[in-house]
Protein backbone atom coordinates (compact mmCIF):
# COMPACT_ATOMS: atom_id res chain seq x y z
CA UNK A 1 0.00 0.00 0.00
CA UNK A 2 1.29 3.45 -0.98
CA UNK A 3 0.71 6.42 1.29
CA UNK A 4 0.79 9.86 -0.41
CA UNK A 5 0.63 13.14 1.45
CA UNK A 6 1.02 16.50 -0.25
CA UNK A 7 2.11 19.43 1.84
CA UNK A 8 3.41 22.92 1.13
CA UNK A 9 6.66 23.92 2.72
CA UNK A 10 8.74 26.98 1.85
CA UNK A 11 6.87 27.48 -1.40
CA UNK A 12 7.71 24.01 -2.78
CA UNK A 13 5.35 21.05 -2.95
CA UNK A 14 6.53 17.98 -1.08
CA UNK A 15 5.25 14.48 -1.80
CA UNK A 16 5.62 11.89 0.93
CA UNK A 17 5.73 8.27 -0.26
CA UNK A 18 5.65 6.11 2.80
CA UNK A 19 9.23 6.62 4.03
CA UNK A 20 10.76 8.90 1.40
CA UNK A 21 10.20 12.44 0.33
CA UNK A 22 10.20 13.62 -3.27
CA UNK A 23 10.67 17.32 -3.91
CA UNK A 24 8.59 18.44 -6.84
CA UNK A 25 10.14 21.31 -8.75
CA UNK A 26 7.04 23.50 -8.67
CA UNK A 27 6.71 26.69 -6.71
CA UNK A 28 3.48 27.46 -4.93
CA UNK A 29 2.62 31.10 -5.49
CA UNK A 30 -0.12 33.00 -3.82
CA UNK A 31 -1.94 35.38 -6.10
CA UNK A 32 -1.27 38.90 -4.94
CA UNK A 33 -4.31 41.02 -4.58
CA UNK A 34 -3.87 44.35 -6.33
CA UNK A 35 -4.39 47.39 -4.14
CA UNK A 36 -7.00 49.90 -5.16
CA UNK A 37 -7.59 53.50 -4.24
CA UNK A 38 -11.04 55.05 -4.43
CA UNK A 39 -11.29 58.82 -4.77
CA UNK A 40 -14.66 60.50 -5.31
CA UNK A 41 -16.21 57.32 -6.69
CA UNK A 42 -13.34 56.52 -9.10
CA UNK A 43 -11.30 53.40 -8.41
CA UNK A 44 -7.61 53.20 -9.39
CA UNK A 45 -5.20 50.25 -9.30
CA UNK A 46 -2.23 51.32 -7.23
CA UNK A 47 0.84 49.76 -5.69
CA UNK A 48 1.28 49.41 -1.92
CA UNK A 49 2.32 53.06 -1.63
CA UNK A 50 -0.58 54.52 -3.62
CA UNK A 51 1.22 55.11 -6.94
CA UNK A 52 -0.65 54.27 -10.15
CA UNK A 53 0.28 50.86 -11.53
CA UNK A 54 -0.65 51.92 -15.07
CA UNK A 55 0.69 55.41 -15.91
CA UNK A 56 -1.13 55.38 -19.26
CA UNK A 57 -4.50 56.05 -17.60
CA UNK A 58 -3.23 59.37 -16.21
CA UNK A 59 -4.87 62.62 -17.29
CA UNK A 60 -5.57 66.03 -15.74
CA UNK A 61 -8.65 64.76 -13.92
CA UNK A 62 -6.68 61.87 -12.39
CA UNK A 63 -3.99 64.35 -11.31
CA UNK A 64 -6.55 66.56 -9.60
CA UNK A 65 -8.11 63.59 -7.80
CA UNK A 66 -4.72 62.32 -6.57
CA UNK A 67 -3.78 65.86 -5.49
CA UNK A 68 -6.99 66.13 -3.44
CA UNK A 69 -6.27 62.78 -1.80
CA UNK A 70 -2.81 64.11 -0.83
CA UNK A 71 -4.31 67.26 0.71
CA UNK A 72 -3.72 69.68 -2.19
CA UNK A 73 -6.96 71.60 -2.67
CA UNK A 74 -6.31 72.97 -6.14
CA UNK A 75 -3.55 72.62 -8.71
CA UNK A 76 -2.24 75.99 -9.94
CA UNK A 77 0.14 76.89 -12.79
CA UNK A 78 3.24 76.12 -10.70
CA UNK A 79 1.88 72.65 -9.88
CA UNK A 80 1.19 71.99 -13.55
CA UNK A 81 4.67 73.20 -14.56
CA UNK A 82 6.27 70.69 -12.15
CA UNK A 83 3.91 67.92 -13.27
CA UNK A 84 4.70 68.63 -16.94
CA UNK A 85 8.46 68.44 -16.30
CA UNK A 86 8.03 65.13 -14.48
CA UNK A 87 5.72 63.66 -17.16
CA UNK A 88 7.96 64.80 -20.04
CA UNK A 89 11.03 63.28 -18.41
CA UNK A 90 9.15 60.03 -17.73
CA UNK A 91 7.96 59.78 -21.33
CA UNK A 92 11.45 60.54 -22.68
CA UNK A 93 13.63 58.57 -20.25
CA UNK A 94 11.26 56.18 -18.46
CA UNK A 95 11.87 57.58 -15.00
CA UNK A 96 11.33 60.64 -12.81
CA UNK A 97 13.81 63.50 -13.13
CA UNK A 98 16.19 64.41 -10.36
CA UNK A 99 14.87 67.13 -8.06
CA UNK A 100 17.62 69.49 -9.19
CA UNK A 101 16.36 69.29 -12.77
CA UNK A 102 12.79 69.97 -11.64
CA UNK A 103 13.92 73.06 -9.72
CA UNK A 104 16.00 74.39 -12.64
CA UNK A 105 13.38 73.85 -15.33
CA UNK A 106 10.46 75.14 -13.24
CA UNK A 107 12.46 78.07 -11.86
CA UNK A 108 11.53 77.07 -8.31
CA UNK A 109 13.51 76.51 -5.14
CA UNK A 110 13.31 73.18 -3.34
CA UNK A 111 11.38 74.84 -0.52
CA UNK A 112 8.74 75.98 -3.02
CA UNK A 113 8.37 72.44 -4.40
CA UNK A 114 7.70 71.20 -0.85
CA UNK A 115 5.13 73.99 -0.40
CA UNK A 116 3.39 72.90 -3.61
CA UNK A 117 3.62 69.17 -2.84
CA UNK A 118 3.72 68.69 0.96
CA UNK A 119 4.62 64.99 0.58
CA UNK A 120 7.71 66.01 -1.39
CA UNK A 121 8.82 65.87 -5.00
CA UNK A 122 9.08 62.08 -5.17
CA UNK A 123 6.16 60.87 -3.09
CA UNK A 124 3.85 63.82 -3.78
CA UNK A 125 4.64 65.28 -7.18
CA UNK A 126 5.38 61.95 -8.88
CA UNK A 127 2.21 60.41 -7.48
CA UNK A 128 0.10 63.32 -8.77
CA UNK A 129 1.94 63.11 -12.12
CA UNK A 130 0.85 59.46 -12.40
CA UNK A 131 4.31 57.91 -12.33
CA UNK A 132 5.23 54.62 -10.65
CA UNK A 133 7.05 54.99 -7.34
CA UNK A 134 10.54 56.42 -8.03
CA UNK A 135 13.48 54.14 -7.21
CA UNK A 136 14.99 56.42 -4.56
CA UNK A 137 11.65 57.05 -2.85
CA UNK A 138 11.43 55.47 0.60
Which pLDDT score, from 0 to 100, does residue 33 have?
A: 61
pLDDT one-digit tens code per residue, 1-16: 444 445 555 544 444 4
For residue 100, what are the CA distances in angstroms to 58, 72, 121? 24, 22, 10
| Active-site hit among 83, 93, 137, 138 | 137
Active site residue 137: yes
CATH number of 36-128: 1.10.10.370
Q: What are the residue boundaries of the structural domains of the chain, listed by start?
A: 1-30, 36-128
- Provide, for the chain, the percentages of residues in helix, strand and coil under a 3-state DSSP scheme, each rounded to the nearest 5: 40, 20, 40
pTM exceeds 0.95 for this model = no
**Burial category of 117 from C-beta neighbours within 10 Å (exposed 0-12, middle 13-18, buried 19 and up):** buried
For 81-109, write each residue's pLDDT tens digit. Answer: 999 999 999 999 999 999 999 999 999 99
Which are the contacts of 13, defined by CB distance < 8 A and separation ≥ 6? 6, 7, 24, 26, 28
Amino acid sequence: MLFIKISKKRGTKLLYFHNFTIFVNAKVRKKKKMATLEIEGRVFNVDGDGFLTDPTIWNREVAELFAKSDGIKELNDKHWAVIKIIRDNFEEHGNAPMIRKICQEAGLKLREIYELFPLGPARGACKVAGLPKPDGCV
